[in-house]
Every structure is written in structure tokens, then in C-alpha cells.
């Protein structure tokens, strides 16, 4: 029996909740295409970003970024 057939056999025995969990796991394992900048400026900025990450720089989350922008604007969130 092939791996695909084994997987399908196990799949059929799972509850719908467990099937959803397996789907989520499978989707998380699928490799995502790497971002490819299209312009010379984009390429330069992407290289800078990659070097910063390689050097250990922690990137801000979306919330942290909004917070920093608000602070730089004098506390206004727009």
C-alpha cells in the first residue's frame, strides 16, 4: 500500500475536527513562495532587510510598528 493510500485510509477514520486539523497541518507544511522584489529599489531594500535579520535584528510586529509610528507622531495613531 502506498503512502497516499495509507493516508487516505487513516483520513477516512478521522472525525471532521481531526480532518480539519490534518488539513491545517498539511497547509502549514507546504512551502510558501519566497518574495521576489520587482524593482531595483525593492531589491536593495530586501537585501538590507535580509542582512538585518541575519545579524539578529528583531522585526516589529504590526502592532509594534503602529505603536512606534504613533509615538513618532507625538502620540497620534494616524
pLDDT score, position 64 = 92
Are 59 and 24 contained in the same domain? no
- For CA atoms 63, 76, 70, 78, the dihedral sign is positive
pLDDT score, position 28 = 84
The residues near 60 (Cβ < 8 Å, ≥ 6 apart) are 68
Tens-place pLDDT, residues 2-52: 999 998 898 899 999 999 999 888 888 888 778 899 999 999 999 999 999
Are 43 and 66 contained in the same domain? yes
pLDDT score, position 77 = 61
Are 76 and 38 contained in the same domain? yes
pLDDT score, position 75 = 74
* 3-class SS of residue 60: coil
Are 39 and 76 contained in the same domain? yes
The residues near 58 (Cβ < 8 Å, ≥ 6 apart) are none
Q: What is the span of the domain harbouring residue 18?
A: 1-31
Amino acid at each position: 500500500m502506498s503512502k497516499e493510500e495509507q493516508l487516505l485510509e487513516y483520513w477516512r477514520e478521522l472525525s471532521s475536527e481531526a480532518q480539519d486539523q490534518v488539513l491545517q497541518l498539511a497547509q502549514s507544511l507546504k512551502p510558501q513562495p519566497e518574495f521576489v522584489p520587482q524593482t531595483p529599489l525593492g531589491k536593495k531594500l530586501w537585501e538590507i532587510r535580509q542582512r538585518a535579520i541575519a545579524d539578529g535584528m528583531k522585526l516589529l510586529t504590526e502592532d509594534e510598528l503602529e505603536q512606534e509610528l504613533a509615538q513618532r507622531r507625538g502620540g497620534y495613531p494616524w
